């Protein structure tokens, strides 16, 4: 986030930091990345390769068919209702094993929360999804951009749930920090 907490503008990230993108890739490869539908739009509906892409939307069927029109070869799963722990876990695992860049559209956080009991899920934004899920996260990797930026999406307050554990990188343009959950409400 920027010094004024901006993370997005016009449904795009308002800075270009290749080193930060490389860091993001490194941290998320082989894992599940969870994002809101608007963030998926912001990356031009291109799933992140070599990761299981989980996209939250209240209309997964309709949205999936729109996305399929653009890329008929994309492997897409749609989950509509909360399902049992076992079948949710198995569904996600099977999808993950399918390989790179698969997408699951879901309309409920339930399935992700069950899956997250046994797997790392990297919450990747945007503002709306961060606000819902930050209270449930154990670790926060935060890139702080060292400038004020105009925007229309902001990172929610998190400081009362987390404490800073370490600064992982410090460059003239940004820092990357690891924060851990304090356990207090």
Ligand X SMILES: NC(=O)c1ccc[n+]([C@@H]2O[C@H](COP(=O)([O-])OP(=O)(O)OC[C@H]3O[C@@H](n4cnc5c(N)ncnc54)[C@H](OP(=O)(O)O)[C@@H]3O)[C@@H](O)[C@H]2O)c1
Which residues contact ligand X by CB under 6 A? 7-8, 11-13, 35-39, 42, 56-59, 107, 109, 124-129, 132, 153
Q: Which is nearer to ligand X, 50 or 152 (CB)?
A: 152
**Both tokens of residue 78?**
């749609």
Q: How far is the CB of 97 from ligand X (least distance, A)?
A: 25
Q: Which is nearer to ligand X, 46 or 59 (CB)?
A: 59
Q: How far is the CB of 135 from ligand X (least distance, A)?
A: 13
Q: How far is the CB of 42 from ligand X (least distance, A)?
A: 4
Q: Which is nearer to ligand X, 38 or 79 (CB)?
A: 38
Burial class (CB in 10 A: 0-12, 13-18, 19+), 85: middle
**Both tokens of residue 133?**
């899920």
Q: How far is the CB of 59 from ligand X (least distance, A)?
A: 6
Q: Which is nearer to ligand X, 58 or 97 (CB)?
A: 58
- Residue 152's Cβ-side half-sphere holds a number of Cα atoms within 13 Å equal to 5
Among all chains, which residue has been given the structure tokens 């722990």?
A: 85
**C-alpha–C-alpha distance, residues 89 and 106, integer Å:** 14
In the beta sheet, which residues pair with residue 166?
178
């Amino acid at each position: 986030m920027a010094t004024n907490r901006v993370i997005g503008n016009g449904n795009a990230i308002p800075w270009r930091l290749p080193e930060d993108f490389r860091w993001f890739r490194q941290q998320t490869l082989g894992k599940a990345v969870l994002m809101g539908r608007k963030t998926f739009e912001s990356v031009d509906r291109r799933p992140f390769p070599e990761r299981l892409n989980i996209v939250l939307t209240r209309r997964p069927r309709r949205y999936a068919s729109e996305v399929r029109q653009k890329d008929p070869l994309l492997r897409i799963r749609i989950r509509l209702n909360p399902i049992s722990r076992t079948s949710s876990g198995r569904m996600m695992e099977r999808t993950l094993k399918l390989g790179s860049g698969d997408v699951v559209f879901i309309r409920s956080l339930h399935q992700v929360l069950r899956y997250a009991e046994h797997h790392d899920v990297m919450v990747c934004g945007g503002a709306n999804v961060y606000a819902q899920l930050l209270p449930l996260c154990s670790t926060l990797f935060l890139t702080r951009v060292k400038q004020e930026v105009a925007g229309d999406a902001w990172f929610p307050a998190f400081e009362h749930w987390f404490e800073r554990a370490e600064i992982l990188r410090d460059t003239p343009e940004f820092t990357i920090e690891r924060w851990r959950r304090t356990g207090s409400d």
